[in-house]
Structure 1
């Protein structure tokens, strides 16, 4: 259907008002007019259209309790949170987490599933595995979390998914020599697009950056990195206010560290802590009365080790210094390539790395030629990727909501 110039202008103003309402909370028409430079009649027409489509709710008019005592009470509006839902999925190597939220980002339900040991751990050849088992697991988990929230697939506007692989702007991962990347992604963009209106598949560290930039400590920063440091190293990079991916989604992949002396691999701080502690225990360097001496088997984790580590403790101080030195070198290298103003250390163990981060800051300040970036810990723990996926899903939903609801409204009118 061809639209007239007037209809195109009306659609553009309606889209602009919806974009304003998406993050505005409760607002009035004069807020819209001031923010967008629209005439009062145009703003009110757009608001009425969005109300009719079910995307905006009109609230009771402001009264004396809201500071209005004279004249006509002001009309108040807000995004209609219950108009649809968004889904965020962290599709990790072994564990999947799914979150369903309303259109404002308010979490309604959360589900978690163990999809089995990753191929590298089980010794199974990747070419012997069907990647469709991962896409099927994602769909099953989405259905489960929707049921928990009392919703169905028909209510879903946007889906965001994070995977441990580079991902380009089309949601596609490049071919990896071992098949690992294509197995981890498992054509999730194609599979989920067949079921839901808007889908955005990203690298997991990229979604960590999306979370930090939208609801975390990087809000207001245009140039920053979010770095996952647990089992492996990975980073999401924002430069000039936008997520940077590269031709194949490889920006932020840190495999180049295998060529950097003193780092040598993409193993994360968690893995390095466990290596250090196991070696110290084997060498009998840990006194029998130290809490670390009681750790063994599945209890010997980085989280358990760091929980009792302290710079004041001569036994655990060398570990903290070693990890701080490593993290400092890592931050120094990425800073020289990307020049971020902020590096956010992310992942389940980020909250336990205060001393490590402080040591890393000292190394960066001493060695950086450019003004050093600020280095801080994320506040989101192990939820960072799934929360980033929710933020990405919300952005994807915003981009298509007006078109989707207009088409639905036209379809309903045609049926009548």
Structure 2
């Protein structure tokens, strides 16, 4: 079956195929009559559209519904497996990769450990290993991938270059998109990791249905992102959400309260230190509880500033520390109530550590929609 990568779109537009594809993607399997009704086309016209889409590999017939009298009507669905997407979370300590179909359904995930001081060649090699392992796990090759979407730390230019990165100094000035294009023969898009995480929470996580959101990316480092009127806000220079860089916001070093608590046993790895403190606080240890209170004090300063500025419907606590929301959210809520004119709904992430790589997949889906399924749409600037 033919694989379409955009070259046949002029023909598809002539057949109203973009409308049909969009309808099938949003509604699932439909009969010709139902599809014609939803698109406003006549049934004979829709039959021609569907036949052409099946020939091109975009649509397939589904097995007939069980039960009922008489011959069941044929039903059709978007062929999400006609191509694949890869999402990347390139962090300071881990590189996560996910493989998904064109609807964003994740099929396989892998992880490669790194360190903030890992040399660039080794970091790129780890990215390659993560993607290769993920593809092997999903039974695919890089030739099956249409888009690789990568999220990483720092201020990312629209072209995919890392303008500034405090957490990984060698990252500053690095042309990540350019190097990924040398590694992978497909479209590449790059975005800030916190914005991808916010997108994931809005699409399939704790912020679904919310139009104005502040996302707190909490872990061994701090990040933030904002959603305004249902859209992830990048800002004029793609630096929106970088409030942690303001010392007075008290966010950049907030995690030190949890990672350097005096009760942590000597020899505990940095990756486990904060978790040890939080577990001890959950068990009632007074020293650990005091550390959590200091952490909440700092976290509330920058968070309240964003809340007072944006008046969001929802604040989402996301990232690695969100798994400990039972310990962290109550003191944060208490402080926000004191500081904010209107208290937003403060929620824990439902995606945890997977928020960035999941958001990368959702970003790839959105890019593909814009690239292929929007009539006459220009290519995004991040291409």
Q: Secondary structure at the residue paired with 1:301?
A: helix
Residues 134 and 186 in structure 1, CA contact (< 8 A), matched pair in contact too: no
Residues 163 and 173 in structure 2, CA contact (< 8 A), matched pair in contact too: no
Partner of 2:135: 146
Q: Secondary structure at the residue paired with 1:109?
A: strand
Q: Secondary structure at the residue paired with 2:27?
A: coil
Q: Structure 1 residue aligned with 2:259, among 266, 274, 282?
A: 274
Distance between the aligned counterparts of 1:101 and 1:95, measured in 2? 20
Trace 1:193-272 onto structure 2 (pairs within 5 A).
Answer: 193=181, 195-260=184-249, 263=250, 265-269=251-255, 271-272=256-257
Trace 1:179-198 onto structure 2 (pairs within 5 A).
Answer: 183=171, 186-193=174-181, 195-198=184-187
Residues 93 and 116 in structure 2, CA contact (< 8 A), matched pair in contact too: yes
Residues 165 and 181 in structure 1, CA contact (< 8 A), matched pair in contact too: no
Trace 1:16-415 onto structure 2 (pairs within 5 A).
Answer: 16-62=19-65, 65=67, 68-69=68-69, 73-115=72-114, 117-119=115-117, 131=120, 133-174=122-163, 183=171, 186-193=174-181, 195-260=184-249, 263=250, 265-269=251-255, 271-275=256-260, 277-278=261-262, 281=263, 295-298=265-268, 301-310=273-282, 314-369=286-341, 371-401=342-372
Count of aligned residue pairs for this structure pair: 363
Distance between the aligned counterparts of 1:393 and 1:208, measured in 2? 13
Residues 273 and 319 in structure 1, CA contact (< 8 A), matched pair in contact too: yes
Per-residue CA distance 1:338-389 (angstroms, 9 max, x = gap): 32211111112212122321221122223212x2221111122212111111
| Inter-CA distance 215–296: structure 2 relative to 1 (3 Å threshold) | same
CA root-mean-square deviation: 3.0
Distance between the aligned counterparts of 1:356 and 1:167, measured in 2? 29
Distance between the aligned counterparts of 1:185 and 1:49, measured in 2? 46
Distance between the aligned counterparts of 1:199 and 1:22, measured in 2? 23
Distance between the aligned counterparts of 1:180 and 1:157, measured in 2? 29
**Unpaired runs of at least 5, structure 1:** 1-5, 123-128, 282-291, 404-416
Structure 2-normalised TM-score? 0.83
Distance between the aligned counterparts of 2:54 and 2:110, measured in 1? 32
**Unpaired runs of at least 5, structure 2:** 1-9, 375-383
Distance between the aligned counterparts of 2:17 and 2:278, measured in 1? 52
